[in-house]
Structure 1
Amino acid sequence: MSSSLTRPVVALTTGEPAGIGPELALMLAATEKRLPAMLVAVGDPQMLAERAELLGLDIKIEVTASGSRLPQPRLGVLPVWPVALRVPSHPGVLEPANGAYVVETLDVAIAACRDGHAGAMVTAPVHKGAIIDGGHTGFTGHTEYLRDTCSVDEVVMMLATDAALHGRVAGQPRCALRVALATTHLPLREVADAITETRLERVLRILDGDLRRHFGIDAPRIVVCGLNPHAGEGGHLGREELEIITPTLARLRDQGFDLEGPLPADTLFTPRHLEGADAVLAMYHDQGLPVLKYAGFGRGANITLGLPIVRTSVDHGTALDLAGQGVADPGSLRVAVRLAAEMAQRSG
């Protein structure tokens, strides 16, 4: 199923049921005639039908067994691999009891990808607090959950604006814009201890390899942020650059990697540096992602690199305040689905 040359199967987890994820999936089914994927939602069919009625969307929910063959895509039809809510859900109202439901949707999609029933998975946003309050106390995010479930040592979170998703674009900076993270969902006080030579080398090898594999870039050029202000100012504002980051970059350059840095993050995100880059590696979540989201919020995708499966996601959160009103923008989900289909075709 997932090996179709034109339309790989993409399993879309519908995310936090009280958020905008379910309605974004419905909006795609209602409006997209030419998605390059056979899209199947993973979620509660009754909840999706009720949400479609609330929003006035004429959508047929077509329930099918998980992993079963899908019909050819049709406008206004949303195939669903069913997972049952634990308790009823209402837009904007979190129910921690449904944390287990959200995690189960992820497990269904992961299993489908690993078993060859889907070529990729796309995740609508989840609410980490609701999942934790529901009993999954170790849940820190999609990225870490996928890493642990797929039994890999390291994965890399990378976000990209739509202009950067299809290789180099003539007349635009080569990095327009891809930002990967050396650490993901950590409290700020823990970040410095997490920046080790071992982690940096793993992250850079994954980033370099998946830029080649998934984006068709033959010789990726990666620009690396420093951790500290002014990249440590020669050791006066921190020594991580001198003792960890610089030696790691030098060792990898000797092995043929094209790396620039470490550079101060406050000047790295300028045309002079981005013009020659295929990706930026930031040291922590809020060092790199605010810049990217300012450049292309709602028009980008989140990609998990280093997995044995293909996973993309939206670049935004659950937007509980917008849920159920029909005003959410499916633009990022559209980009994420298209990217997942392209990655699946390259990986296949």
Structure 2
Amino acid sequence: MLVLTQGDPASIAPEITAAVWQKLRQNGPAFVYVGDPSLLERRVPVQTVRYLSAGADIFSHALPVIPLHLATPPAPGEPDRRNAASVLESIRLAVELTLSGEASAMITNPISKEVVQGAGFHHPGHTGYLAELCQTPGNEIMLLAGPSLKVVPITVHVALREAISQLSSDLIIRTARTVAAGMQRDFGLSNPRMAFAGLNPHAGEHGLMGREEQEIILPALHTLRQEGYNVSGPLPPDTMFTPDARAKYDVALCMYHDQGLIPLKTLDMAEGVNVTLGLPIIRTSPDHGTAFDIAGQNKADPRSLEAAIRMAAALAENRRKNA
């Protein structure tokens, strides 16, 4: 059984949750929602449960909910910090259920970091909070996966100037090891092909457009090859995402956030999934945010959440087989 978090109650999370349940209710994958039932009761039939295991028998005719309670009724599109505690409690409980093995994987609905900052959330993103709850801070890696491409940004939610400062051979090596382990354990790839982007135009043009490739990236790839990893690069970032280039690798490791997320979202925005590697649990999420501007208007596209739920189930099955 999978577990899905509440997300921000003023966001598109309630409507995409209801839409995905309607799509999956007959054939699954089945999931239990952890949140306030009132967010869904106007949209779909819900049934509260005490235990995750009870959800399987309910899922086809009602959305099973482990109930939490909001501090104040939400207005769609108007985030309210008074509901931050329930947002974080939903995540905490989902992690607890997944760590215990009651849930095979967790899926997180989108949250607003601005909303939860006042309730004890002091992380640059959702992923860091999950790592803290799993007691594995510093090991988390963000993988974005779609039908056409899988990418990992080696530096993530920092300014571009800071990303360049953070980049090091050690960071590249540690990230690659975690990515390879995750691709083997959860995606079933025994020898994953990892392609590395250059940082500079034309991958530095042999030092004419920057020295980071020679001084940081190439030494890291040399070490990884010596350790037996299947790596290529550094590749010119402007050509490594063409169809012919993508056929030659399983996952692209990029030097900064937008270098990887622009091609991923261009190719697979509607079906992109955020997967966290390096945790003891499986966690996926839709590759979009809260979309407060369209919340409550029935305009939200639920396909990314559906893809996240389907991928969570597939990764859980792969992990079970590889255990």
**Residue identity opposite 2:181 in structure 1:** G
1:63 corresponding residue in structure 2: 48
1:318 corresponding residue in structure 2: 290
User: Among 129, 132, 136, which residue is 1:148 paired with?
Assistant: 132
Closer, same or farther in 2 for the Cα pair 1:96/1:238, shift >3 Å?
A: farther
Number of equivalences: 319
1:19 corresponding residue in structure 2: 11
Q: What are the Cα deviations for residues 117-157 of structure 1, in whole angstroms up to 9, with x where unaligned?
A: 1110001111122222x344522211111122212232211
Q: Residues of 1 paired with 2:12 and 2:250: CA distance?
A: 32
Write the mapping of 1:244-255 to structure 2, written as runs, cut at 5 A. 244-255=216-227
Write the mapping of 1:79-228 to structure 2, written as runs, cut at 5 A. 79-132=64-117, 134-136=118-120, 138-152=122-136, 153-161=138-146, 163=147, 176-228=148-200
1:297 corresponding residue in structure 2: 269
Closer, same or farther in 2 for the Cα pair 1:27/1:193, shift >3 Å?
A: same
User: Among 269, 290, 297, which residue is 2:241 paired with?
Assistant: 269
Closer, same or farther in 2 for the Cα pair 1:99/1:228, shift >3 Å?
A: farther
**1:182 Cα offset (Å):** 0.8
SS at match of 1:298: helix
Closer, same or farther in 2 for the Cα pair 1:180/1:34, shift >3 Å?
A: farther
1:38 corresponding residue in structure 2: 30
RMSD: 1.7
Closer, same or farther in 2 for the Cα pair 1:137/1:41, shift >3 Å?
A: closer
Q: Residues of 1 paired with 2:246 and 2:56: CA distance?
A: 43
Q: Residues of 1 paired with 2:256 and 2:94: CA distance?
A: 28
2:214 corresponding residue in structure 1: 242
SS at match of 1:237: coil
Q: Residues of 2 paired with 1:329 and 1:76: CA distance?
A: 23
Q: Residues of 1 paired with 2:210 and 2:282: CA distance?
A: 37
> Is 1:342–2:314 an aligned residue pair?
yes
Q: What are the Cα deviations for residues 142-186 of structure 1, in whole angstroms up to 9, with x where unaligned?
A: 11111222122322111111x3xxxxxxxxxxxx21111112212
Q: Residues of 2 paired with 1:273 and 1:28: CA distance?
A: 34
Q: Which runs of 5+ in 1 are unaligned?
A: 1-8, 164-175
Contact residue 159 and residue 178 of structure 1 kept, 8 A: yes
Closer, same or farther in 2 for the Cα pair 1:199/1:151, shift >3 Å?
A: farther
Closer, same or farther in 2 for the Cα pair 1:71/1:288, shift >3 Å?
A: closer
Q: What are the Cα deviations for residues 236-286 of structure 1, in whole angstroms up to 9, with x where unaligned?
A: 433222111110101111221111111121121123321211111111111
SS at match of 2:293: coil
**1:75 Cα offset (Å):** 3.4
Q: Residues of 2 paired with 1:69 and 1:33: CA distance?
A: 15
**1:45 Cα offset (Å):** 1.3
Scaled by the length of structure 2, the TM-score of the pair is: 0.93
Contact residue 30 and residue 59 of structure 2 kept, 8 A: no
Contact residue 31 and residue 59 of structure 2 kept, 8 A: no
Moved more, 144-153 or 245-254: 144-153
Q: Residues of 2 paired with 1:323 and 1:244: CA distance?
A: 44
> Is 1:258–2:242 an aligned residue pair?
no
**1:303 Cα offset (Å):** 0.6
**1:35 Cα offset (Å):** 4.4
**1:199 Cα offset (Å):** 1.7
**1:67 Cα offset (Å):** 4.5
Moved more, 107-116 or 121-130: 121-130
Q: Which runs of 5+ in 2 are unaligned?
A: none
Contact residue 198 and residue 235 of structure 2 kept, 8 A: yes
1:283 corresponding residue in structure 2: 255
Contact residue 31 and residue 76 of structure 1 kept, 8 A: no
Runs of 4+ in 1 over 6 A off after TM superposition: none
Identity of aligned residues (%): 41
SS at match of 2:239: helix
Write the mapping of 1:42-57 to structure 2, written as runs, cut at 5 A. 42-49=34-41, 53=42, 57=43
**Residue identity opposite 1:156 in structure 2:** I
**Residue identity opposite 2:65 in structure 1:** V
